[in-house]
Structure 1
Amino acid sequence: MTGSTASIGATKYVFALDCPDASALAAFYARLLGWRASDTSPDAEWVDVRPPEGESAAFWIACQRVEDHRAPEWPDGPIPQQAHLDFYVASIADSTPHALAAGARKHEYQPSPDGHFVVFLDPAGHPFCLCEE
């Protein structure tokens, strides 16, 4: 329907990341964002990462355990990035120490010529960016 405002009626939006250890990756994103992981058992297949009680977010993150997971090899490599997360912050410089302390590592390749975003890797190798508008 052209011009329609109809939707599928979704009530929750989740960005799911494949990984070798769902609990560990969920714990990373919970630390990074100050959110909470729904399950921390070592054999969890799926773990939601949600905002703190009483807070809302436009989407949640979920971590899904996948046998023989292979991390993306970005920017060049046989396993493409496929997707990434951007987190907008007031100051990249102020947010970087927290990201690193949570378990992120700064990617060696930084494509932003003006420094308006910095590329990091989560513990499972997924790229994500801290961005300034």
Structure 2
Amino acid sequence: MAVAELGVVVLDCPDPIALSRFYRAVLGGTIERDDEGTDWVDLELPGGQALAFQSAPGYVPPEWPDADRSQQFHLDLNVPDLDAAEEAVLRLGAKPLDTEDRSRSFRVYADPAGHPFCLCAC
């Protein structure tokens, strides 16, 4: 029997509203802010999942791949067309990190706050 159930994945970032808008453009969903301002933003995704964004003063983005500033974790985003998805995320402000090997079934990017994520062919 499980001890807990995953509630939400939370990304620390300098600007929760901006980063939630990036991921809304990539994943869809609805942005919901807390009543106190802009320190916490939820992105309610289609299908009932959620991704949250929390303001982190002094935020330092990970360096990929660098053990001294490890990424800690990354998001794998399944897409039907890698080329079309790549074009879209780059237009939205993502930066390519490891996209040279076009024979692989995934490509690695950084979101506007520097968090690594992969587009994965499904």
Matches of 2:73 and 2:16 in 1, distance apart? 17
Q: Is the 2:44–2:51 contact (alpha carbons within 8 Å) kept by the matching residues of 1? A: yes
Q: Contact 1:89/1:131 (CA < 8 Å) preserved in 2? A: yes
Aligned: 1:39 with 2:33: yes
How many matched pairs? Answer: 121
Give 4+ residue runs of structure 1 displaced > 6 Å after superposition. none
Question: Hey, what does 2:14 align to over in structure 1?
Answer: 20
The equivalent of 2:107 in structure 1 is 118
Structure-2-length-normalised TM-score? 0.86
Query: How many angstroms apart in 1 are the aligned matches of 2:38 and 2:85?
Result: 29
Q: What is the Cα deviation at residue 67 of structure 1?
A: 0.6
Bigger proportion of residues as strand: 2
Whole-Å separation in 1 of the counterparts to 2:62 and 2:28: 25
Bigger radius of gyration, 1 or 2? 1
3-state SS of paired residue (1:106): strand
More off after superposition, 110-119 vs 61-70: 110-119
Instruction: Report deviation, 1:131.
Output: 0.4
Pairwise CA distance, 1:9:
5.1
**Match runs of 1:51-90 below 5 Å:** 51=45, 55-57=46-48, 59-76=49-66, 78-90=68-80
Instruction: Output the CA distance in 1 between the equivalents of 2:86 and 2:103.
Output: 17
Structure 2 spans left out of the alignment, 5+ residues: none
Amino acid at match of 2:115: H
Residues 78-107 of structure 1 show CA distances to partners (whole Å, capped at 9, x for unaligned) of 211101000111110121111112221211
- TM-score under structure 1 length normalisation: 0.79
Partner secondary structure for residue 65 of structure 2: coil
AA matched with 1:56:
G
76 and 110 in structure 1: CA distance in 2 versus 1, 3 angstrom threshold:
farther
Letter in 2 for 1:21: D
**Percent same amino acid among aligned pairs?**
36
Q: 1:49 to 1:7 in 2, by over 3 A?
A: same
